[in-house]
């Protein structure tokens, strides 16, 4: 890697409103609460600074990785090489105009859902308990309890290479946990949603009911990255894992949740290596019994 002080200096010049950290533990920025240090982590304050940070990395020929709340990623114990661009609080503005809401990529989904609820707008209740950011949710077409981002999204602001463009829902090609930006490596900087007028009392009751279901069925008290595996066609990952007798299985500090077998959790002292070894054990065991190869939904990144 080039001289770190030189890289930081170039980033500061290109992104004057950004927060820049070196050797920053990624365990502070992922919901799994594991992961080694990022060489350099930058939190831009605008779409233009996101582009400038990525261009700086490319000009210097060093790796760059863009992330949100870290709710769907597992960073290896060796940390992240190069520059990590974190879209967070410094890019979290939410604006409403009637039934239309625009949110920057770093805004939390839970906050967006709450803003819609307080305005008496329906369509985002499903997102109230998803622990991710708007940008990540659009890229992954996140969903829960019968709803998904594609149901309410009108268009998204996307960084394609060095160009910022607006893409409609159709242009985004949103499928099950996939979009064109995800496949192409493009960055979602913000998104516009069209909701419907609703009754605040009814929306509040629906939100509370979904929160109750999550508390009962999901291990919310322990660090995780949500559902560890994608849903295999014709099956449910959690059911396959439980049928394989793996509920409660532990390797180091990583455990198959005793509450929901579809979640791998950090019981407190897990390393990324523990989690990876448990994921591999689950895959091999389930494949040996059912012939189904489970595919991780969580993104696995970083160096060993």
Do residues 29 and 43 touch, judged by C-beta distance below 8 A? no
Of the CA atoms within 13 Å of residue 303, those in its CB half-sphere come to 10
**Of the residues 27, 128, 224, 227, which is catalytic?**
227
**If residue 5 lies in a helix (H) or strand (E), which one and from where to where?**
helix 4-14
CB 211 within 8 A of CB 129: yes
Of 64, 148, 146, 140, the closest CA to residue 105 belongs to: 140
Q: Which of 96, 111, 177, 214 is catalytic?
A: 177
User: Smallest Cα–Cα separation from 228: which of 92, 71, 99?
Assistant: 71
| Catalytic member of 96, 242, 297, 299 | 297
177 counts as catalytic? yes
Written as six digits, the tokens of 187 are: 């960055």
* Rounded Cα gap, residues 264 and 304, in angstroms: 20
Per residue in 150-179, is it b (16+ CB within 10 Å) or e — as a string? bebbebbbbbeeeebeebebeebbbeebeb
Catalytic, 297? Answer yes
* Catalytic annotation, residues: 177, 227, 297
């Amino acid at each position: 890697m080039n001289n770190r002080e030189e890289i930081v200096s170039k980033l500061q010049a290109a992104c004057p409103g950004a927060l820049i950290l070196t050797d920053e533990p990624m365990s502070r920025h992922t919901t799994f609460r594991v992961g080694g240090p990022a060489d350099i982590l930058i939190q831009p304050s605008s779409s233009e600074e996101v582009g400038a940070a990525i261009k700086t990395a490319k000009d210097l020929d060093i790796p760059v990785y863009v992330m949100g709340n870290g709710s769907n990623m597992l960073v290896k114990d060796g940390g992240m090489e190069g520059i990590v661009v974190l879209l967070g609080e410094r890019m979290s503005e939410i604006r409403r105009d009637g039934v239309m809401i625009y949110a920057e990529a770093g805004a939390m989904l839970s906050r967006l859902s709450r803003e819609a609820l307080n305005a008496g707008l329906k369509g985002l209740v499903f997102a109230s308990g998803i622990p991710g950011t708007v940008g990540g949710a659009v890229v992954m077409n996140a969903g829960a309890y019968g709803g998904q981002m594609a149901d309410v999204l009108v268009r998204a602001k996307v960084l394609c290479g060095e160009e910022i463009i607006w893409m409609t829902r159709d242009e985004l090609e949103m499928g099950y946990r996939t979009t064109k930006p995800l496949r192409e490596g493009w960055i979602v900087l913000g998104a516009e949603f069209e909701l419907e007028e609703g009754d605040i009392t009814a929306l509040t009751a629906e939100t509370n009911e979904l929160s109750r279901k999550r508390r009962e069925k999901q291990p919310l008290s322990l660090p995780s990255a949500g559902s560890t595996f994608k849903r295999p066609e014709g099956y449910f990952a959690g059911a396959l894992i439980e049928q394989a007798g793996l509920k409660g299985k532990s390797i180091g500090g990583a455990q198959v949740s005793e509450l929901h077998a579809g979640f791998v959790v950090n019981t407190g002292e897990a390393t990324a290596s523990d989690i990876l070894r448990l994921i591999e054990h689950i895959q091999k065991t389930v494949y040996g019994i059912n012939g189904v190869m489970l595919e991780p939904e969580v993104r696995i990144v970083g160096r060993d």
